[in-house]
Chains A and B, each alone.
Chain A
Amino acid sequence: MGKRTPITNRVRELREANGAMSQAALGEAVGVTRQTIIAIEQGRYSPSLETAFRISRLFGVGLEDVFGWEEE
């Protein structure tokens, strides 16, 4: 529902590449709800810089390996 944010991400891909980690487990690891992880994956919510860093560090990759910018 609603307009997607211009920030793209590879959260789902990285989650699946890391032992098919569940959305709930990722949410718990970075301090957000499962619904927020779903919203991030669907491009409905741009996470805070802190959460973005937490996600990238959890997967052991750089911030720009997880998040990108899509020109409007």
Chain B
Amino acid sequence: MSFREKSAWVMAAVLLAVGAFYVKLVTVDGVPPAAAAIPFVLAVIVLSVAAQIVLAIASPKEASSPADERERVAIDKAGHFSSYVLAVGVLVGLGQFMLTADGNGMFHTMLTCLILSQVSEYGAQVFFFRRAM
């Protein structure tokens, strides 16, 4: 498995784990947006940096090399795919606000869709790294 595929798996796992934590804070604990989003963002930053450091220590040569031509195509396609997930999330959030006038609800919906779009981007990267292009 290439360094970038490992990185995509790890980042997807980090986002899913921290995203689940965020959803729990919002749905179970009823935490307001700022109080839920700040620990979420901090956890994503800290865990992502830690995971990338561990991966770079395990494969220093690959970590310092830029993505090659096949990886760049896969990364671009995955980014394109995830943009649709994000766009749907934005439309759902806007529709939710139009119907309920609930700004907190819109915030949570959009942040959840941002997490989902990132997870879908990493998932699509793994898919395109493996399939024929």
Contacts and interface: CB of A to CB of B under 8 A. Distances in A.
Interface residues of A, number: 19
Contacts of A4: 132
Given A33-B2, A33-B62, A44 B68 contact: no
A2 interface: yes
A2 B132 contact: yes
Interface of B: 1-2, 5, 62, 65, 68-71, 129-133
Given A2-B130, A33-B70, 12 more contacts: A1-B132, A2-B131, A32-B69, A33-B2, A33-B65, A34-B2, A35-B70, A35-B129, A36-B68, A44-B131, A45-B133, A47-B69
27 contacts: A1-B130, A1-B131, A1-B132, A2-B130, A2-B132, A4-B132, A5-B132, A31-B68, A32-B68, A32-B70, A33-B62, A33-B68, A33-B70, A33-B71, A35-B2, A35-B5, A35-B70, A36-B70, A39-B70, A39-B132, A39-B133, A43-B132, A44-B133, A45-B132, A45-B133, A47-B70, A51-B69
